[in-house]
Amino acid sequence: MIMQTRDVALKRNERRQFLKLAGYGALGWITSGFRPVFGAPAFGQNKKTVLGSDFLPDLDISLAARPDEVAVFPGSPTRVWRYHAIIHKGDKGRVLEIPESYLGPIINVHRGEKIRIRFNNSIPEASIIHWHGLHVPAIMDGHPRHVISQGQSYLYEFEVKNRAGTYWYHPHPHGRTGPQVYRGLAGLFLVSDDEEQAAGLPDGEYDVPLVIQDRTFDLDNQLVYTSGRRMDQMTGFLGDRIMVNGLPDFTLPVSTGAYRLRVLNGSNSRIYKLAWKDGRPLTVVGTDGGLLERPANRRYAFLSPGERLEIWADFSDRPVGYETSLISLPFNTGGMGGGRRGRGMMMGGRTGRNQRLPNGAGFPIFNINVTKPVKNHLTLPDKLSDIESIQQDEAVNFFRPRQFFLTMRHMQWSINGREFQMEEVADDEIVELGSKEIWEFHNTGSGMMHMMNMPHPIHLHGKQFRVLERSGVMHESYVDEGWKDTVLIMPGERIRILVEFDDYPGMFLYHCHNLEHEDMGMMRNYFVRET
């Protein structure tokens, strides 16, 4: 049985690799001519009932969220929800389906392009798509108040203003983000630009996206989510099976060349402490908001839900037949949701699932097999991109940073003691358009109740930011360099970020990207006010 599973997985990997090799070939693409997908649809609250005639998209697609079945394992297919695309305008190579994966298609765009996406909701509950990391107007950001119900459509039209990088998209309905992402609704949104293309990084088959998620399957191959009990919600969902690009037992066959591995943590609440099994350093070339200025070496690095790391991996000094793996090292979560020792175990251990693979456990993520003696003759560039230097003193609140306390009260995670309210913005959550600010987050937990301490990956919608300062003692385990949109804050830590609200007024979210925390209300609006 196990053998069989491996064979199937390997076959899948070969197919996947073939797809990569074929580049923008015919396999796996979906395309069609223009189809008027909107009869008389309701457009949520963006009130656009006709396609903008003054908006000329470079890429125009329909993206549907719909129930589907995927053969993840031999035997019964797994019932999932999945994004499916149809191209109306743009090269076929722009939208790449991953065969036999529950993940949505990989959308490829170039900075400066205009994108139109017609989201059709065909799942039996309200949803909306958020473009994680993208800098788009508030109405295009997928705020939960813009959810549409089954059968409705929402029109997105925006220009890609971000730097080249590994972004992603996923649902954002309030209270249901965790279960919808878990069922399969997520996909990559890759942005390229001229600077990146000139950086000398591996491309084509040597540029490999890797979405890491954990899932639990029952004996009939169906997905199992949390019990819904408060305690499980407090910890967050932890699956006992590691999936890569929606596939189990993932092996990446490589040649003896240099690779750009784009790793996204698309898990609901699991944090990975990435390292190479063979002990070589992790050579990080990019994070959430694209390439670093220069490569950074780490022995290991945390990757929390929502974060991305781009790794340079060179196998040119390894023989054909060489095998290694990307692993997650054991770590202490500092309290709840862990399980290595004591209290975390007691808390997370209420369900059998968490006990099997607690947050902070060590395990392999995927294997690498060197199969071919082909070199791409690339050497790691010293300089990857231009990143403007941090000008802290330009912050309007330089002497009094905005304060956010991540706390828990009455079995409820909150930010400054507040839970999410759909339309609510507090006075201290209003910022001025055009200003630069320092925000300071304190993960002080719940005071005396140390067992209730948990890591929180904090994410801002609307803008990429810079990490100014981290108070903790584990600095070498983080990659805080470059542009970020999600930052992990361990129990007891305090971090400062610098963010500039240079355009796009309106309401945006900031929240914990542990999706169960987010769903229970560890999320707030901030409002960018025009002056």
Which residues contact ligand C2O by CB under 6 A?
130, 132, 170, 172, 306, 459, 461, 509, 511, 513
Instruction: Tell me whether residue 118 or residue 456 sits nearer to Cu ion (CB atom).
Output: 456
Nearest residue to 244 via CA among 169, 323, 179, 188: 188
Do the beta carbons of residue 302 and residue 288 sit within 8 Å? no
Kindly write out the interface string for residues 134-173 of this chain, putting x where it contacts Cu ion by CB under 5 A and - elsewhere: ----------------------------------------
Min separation Cβ 487 and Cu ion, Å: 12
Q: 429-440: b or e for each residue (b if 16 or more CB lie within 10 Å)?
A: bebeeebbbbbb
| Residue 469 amino acid letter | E
Q: Around Cβ 142, how many Cβ atoms within 10 Å?
A: 27
Q: How far is CA 59 from CA 33, 112, 114, 170, 377, in A?
A: 13, 12, 7, 19, 33
Total residues contacting Cu ion (rule CB under 5 A)? 6
Q: Which does 260 bind (CB under 5 to 8 A by kind): Cu ion, ligand C2O, none?
A: none
Min separation Cβ 235 and Cu ion, Å: 10
Q: Which residues pair with 83 in a beta bridge?
A: 65
Question: Which residue has the CB atom at the shortest distance from ligand C2O?
Answer: 132
Write the burial class of residue 89 (CB in 10 Å: 0-12 exposed, 13-18 middle, 19+ buried). Answer: middle
Distance of CA 350 to the CA centre of its chain: 28
Min separation Cβ 25 and ligand C2O, Å: 31
Query: Does 461 engage in binding with Cu ion (CB under 5 A)?
Result: yes
Instruction: Tell me whether residue 212 or residue 384 sits nearer to Cu ion (CB atom).
Output: 212
Helix (H) and strand (E) counts for the chain?
Answer: 7, 31
Kindly write out the interface string for residues 116-135 of this chain, putting x where it contacts Cu ion by CB under 5 A and - elsewhere: ----------------x---
| Residue 256 amino acid letter | T
Q: Which does 514 bind (CB under 5 to 8 A by kind): ligand C2O, Cu ion, none?
A: Cu ion
Give the C-alpha separation, 420 to 526, whole Å.
Answer: 11
Give the C-alpha separation, 185 to 268, whole Å.
Answer: 12
Instruction: Tell me whether residue 187 or residue 337 sits nearer to ligand C2O (CB atom).
Output: 187
Instruction: Tell me whether residue 57 or residue 171 sits nearer to Cu ion (CB atom).
Output: 171
Query: Does 517 engage in binding with Cu ion (CB under 5 A)?
Result: yes
Min separation Cβ 219 and Cu ion, Å: 31
Min separation Cβ 141 and ligand C2O, Å: 9
Min separation Cβ 504 and Cu ion, Å: 14
Cα-flanking dihedrals φ and ψ of residue 208, to 5°?
-120, 115
Min separation Cβ 473 and ligand C2O, Å: 28
Q: 288-301: b or e for each residue (b if 16 or more CB lie within 10 Å)?
A: bbbbbeebbebebb
Query: Does 304 engage in binding with Cu ion (CB under 5 A)?
Result: no
Q: Which does 517 bind (CB under 5 to 8 A by kind): ligand C2O, Cu ion, none?
A: Cu ion
Q: How far is CA 436 from CA 8, 165, 315, 468, in A?
A: 52, 23, 42, 13
Q: Which does 170 bind (CB under 5 to 8 A by kind): Cu ion, ligand C2O, none?
A: ligand C2O
Instruction: Tell me whether residue 118 or residue 461 sits nearer to ligand C2O (CB atom).
Output: 461
Tokens 């639990």 identify what position?
216
Query: Does 456 engage in binding with Cu ion (CB under 5 A)?
Result: yes
Instruction: Tell me whether residue 16 or residue 513 sits nearer to ligand C2O (CB atom).
Output: 513
Min separation Cβ 338 and Cu ion, Å: 14
| Residue 145 amino acid letter | R
Query: Does 234 engage in binding with Cu ion (CB under 5 A)?
Result: no
Min separation Cβ 253 and Cu ion, Å: 33
Give the C-alpha separation, 474 to 469, whole Å.
Answer: 12
Q: Which does 511 bind (CB under 5 to 8 A by kind): Cu ion, ligand C2O, none?
A: ligand C2O
Min separation Cβ 436 and ligand C2O, Å: 22
Min separation Cβ 507 and ligand C2O, Å: 13
Min separation Cβ 65 and ligand C2O, Å: 16
Question: Taking every pair of C-alpha atoms in the chain, what is the biggest distance, in angstroms?
Answer: 65
Instruction: Tell me whether residue 517 or residue 524 sits nearer to Cu ion (CB atom).
Output: 517
Q: Which does 456 bind (CB under 5 to 8 A by kind): ligand C2O, Cu ion, none?
A: Cu ion
Helices (H), 335-474: 343-348, 352-356
Kindly write out the interface string for residues 465-504 of this chain, putting x where it contacts Cu ion by CB under 5 A and - elsewhere: ----------------------------------------
Q: Which does 172 bind (CB under 5 to 8 A by kind): ligand C2O, Cu ion, none?
A: ligand C2O
State the DSSP H helix or E strand holding residue 65, giving kind and residue range, or none if neither: strand 59-70
Q: Which residue in 284, 514, 525, 526 binds Cu ion (CB under 5 A)?
A: 514
Write the burial class of residue 26 (CB in 10 Å: 0-12 exposed, 13-18 middle, 19+ buried). Answer: exposed
Q: Which does 470 bind (CB under 5 to 8 A by kind): ligand C2O, Cu ion, none?
A: none
Which residues, at least 6 apart from 206, have a Cβ–Cβ distance to it below 8 Å?
257, 258, 259, 260, 376, 378
Q: Which does 270 bind (CB under 5 to 8 A by kind): Cu ion, ligand C2O, none?
A: none
Tokens 């790794």 identify what position?
311
Instruction: Tell me whether residue 88 or residue 511 sits nearer to ligand C2O (CB atom).
Output: 511
Query: Does 512 engage in binding with Cu ion (CB under 5 A)?
Result: yes
Which residues, at least 6 apart from 260, have a Cβ–Cβ distance to it below 8 Å?
201, 202, 203, 206, 207, 208, 285, 310, 311, 312
Query: Does 513 engage in binding with Cu ion (CB under 5 A)?
Result: no
Q: Which residues bind Cu ion (CB under 5 A)?
A: 132, 456, 461, 512, 514, 517
